[in-house]
Amino acid sequence: MTELELKYGCNPNQKPSRIFAQSGELPITVLNGKPGYINLLDAFNSYQLACELRAATGYPAAASFKHVSPAGAAIGLPLTDLERAVYFAPEGDISPQAAAYIRARGADRVSAYGDWAALSDECDEDTARALLPEVSDGVIAPSFSEKALEILRQKRKGGYNVVQIDANYVPNPVERRDVYGVTFEQGRNELKIDASLLQNVVTENKNLPEAAARDLIIALITLKYTQSNSVCYAKDGGAIGVGAGQQSRIHCTRLAGSKADNRRLREHKKVLDLPFLDDIARPARDNAIDLYISDEADDVLRDGEWQTLFTERPRRFTPEERRVWIAAQSGVALGSDAFFPFGDNIERANRSGVRYIAQPGGSIRDDNVIATCDKYGIAMAFTGIRLFHH
């Protein structure tokens, strides 16, 4: 297949729409459904991210994409009992590939609503079962087991998008795209992200444990495929907060930090014990949790409205409970796609438990940023590499 006709482009008025190979065959086969323009942008970007995580860590990896940026990305470390509860994981054994997707989807379940899933390895039965109850637009993987395909074809009344990609595909080293009738051309970003980028630790604390270095690598690879400006918080083998597409670096740090805080709050007993009605739908439950752990909890707990979600009215967090719980977070890694211009980014990151940072360096205020890290005992590496993605 040299081309694939699409229903429309980014919006219904943008016709005609297609993808095509300028030479040779397209590297994908649509096994089910009819993916659209944005679906395939998400598919190709997310698959690259998952494959790079796989290559860098040795673990099966997955990404959950929305509007050409990751809502989450992770590797297939085993899930703890607490993580199973937080991520609403199915009971029983879970394959590493399934664990990677569950962890990626669980980073930010509200943003991941209607996501595109990318898998580095074969989509097995466990992963398909993890995808089945989620509101998702489609999945891309190098292969699918027969049982996985059977399960996925049950989604969206048989219309779920399932795309298989050639694992041996090598893209052209030069990329082109048209904007306003003008063709842009650049070399592909083939930068390899690994531990060698973390050698230049510029802070007084130079201790980067193996797990922290792994999480920094995960954060940096995630940033490579996140619309800039962007900052990523990561912990325990996955992104826990992605701040994408902000014009200001501090706003990236705040946005990603608030998502990381929400991920931390979901581990609180109050959230785990929320008395949901048995028939509550997943999206309604996810939205209710998001509101409950935010400052907008009163929107959920208004007189009468809670009865559509809970068997009894839950008691909301007090500001002090929220502050103490978030303050107990520690060991978080943070990556930035460009340098931090001011120490305020470090101040905000510290409030979300960040203890390890990787960023390019090169600001005229590097000394201030380093001094702020030293104030909190944060270890920071200068990578010397910018990771803008547009």
Tens of pLDDT, residue by residue over 52-94, are: 999 999 999 999 999 999 999 999 999 999 999 999 998 889 9
pLDDT at 271 over 90: yes
Supply the range of the domain harboring residue 246: 194-265+326-382
Q: Are 61 and 82 in a shared domain? A: yes
pLDDT band for position 1 (cuts 50, 70, 90): low
Q: Are 78 and 124 in a shared domain? A: yes
Q: Are 158 and 37 in a shared domain? A: yes
> What share of the chain has pLDDT > 70, as a percent?
99
Residue 256 lies in a domain: yes
Beta-carbon contacts of 298 under 8 Å, excluding residues fewer than 6 positions away, are 316
Residue 333 lies in a domain: yes
| Rounded Cα distance, 358 and 142, in Å | 31
Domain boundary among 116, 135, 170: 170
Q: Are 165 and 278 in a shared domain? A: no
CB-CB contact of 219 with 335 (8 Å): yes
Q: Are 151 and 83 in a shared domain? A: yes
Beta strands (DSSP E) in the chain are 3-6, 17-20, 28-32, 61-66, 69-75, 115-119, 136-141, 161-165, 174-179, 182-187, 230-235, 238-244, 332-336, 354-359, 379-382
Residue 321 lies in a domain: no
Q: Are 296 and 366 in a shared domain? A: no
User: Which positions are catalytic?
Assistant: 66-67, 229, 390
Tell whether the torsion through CA atoms of 162, 190, 101 and 262 is positive or negative.
negative
Helices 249-265 and 319-327: crossing angle in degrees, nearest 10, is 100
Q: Are 256 and 276 in a shared domain? A: no
- Structural domain total, the chain: 3
Q: Are 235 and 91 in a shared domain? A: no
Beta-carbon contacts of 184 under 8 Å, excluding residues fewer than 6 positions away, are 176, 177, 178
Q: Are 289 and 153 in a shared domain? A: no
Residue 185 lies in a domain: no
Residue 97 lies in a domain: yes
* pTM confidence score: 0.95
The predicted pLDDT at position 319 comes to 87
Q: Which of 72, 2, 87 is nearest to 241 (CA)?
A: 72
CATH number at residue 83: 3.40.140.20
pLDDT tens track for 123-172: 999 999 999 999 999 999 999 999 999 999 999 999 999 999 999 999 99
| Rounded Cα distance, 363 and 140, in Å | 39
Residue 45 lies in a domain: yes
Residue 19 lies in a domain: yes
Mean pLDDT over 203-214 rounds to 97
pLDDT at 290 over 70: yes
pLDDT tens track for 32-49: 999 999 999 999 999 999
Strands 136-141, 115-119: pairing is parallel
Q: Are 45 and 104 in a shared domain? A: yes
Residue 277: φ, ψ to 5°: -60, 150
| Rounded Cα distance, 90 and 70, in Å | 23
Residue 347 lies in a domain: yes
The predicted pLDDT at position 180 comes to 94
Q: Are 154 and 244 in a shared domain? A: no
Q: Are 234 and 353 in a shared domain? A: yes
